Structure 1
Amino acid sequence: MDSRSGTALCQICQREFTDDDDLVPRILTECGHSLCTNCAKQILGNQKKILCPFDRIPTDVPDGDVKKLKKNYTILQMKEEEKFRRKEQIKGAVKDKKKTRKNDGTCDENPSHRAASFCKSCDADLCDE
Structure 2
Amino acid sequence: MTPLQIYLPIGVVLLVAVGLAMLMLGLSNVLGPRRPSLVKQTPFECGSEPVGSAHERFGVKFYVVALLFIVFDIEAIFLYPWAVLLLPDEKTGYAGLGWPGFLSMGIFVFTLVAGLVYVWKKGVLDWQD
The normalised TM-score by structure 1 is 0.31
Q: Where is the strand percentage greater, Structure 1 or Structure 2?
A: 1
Greater radius of gyration (CA) = 2
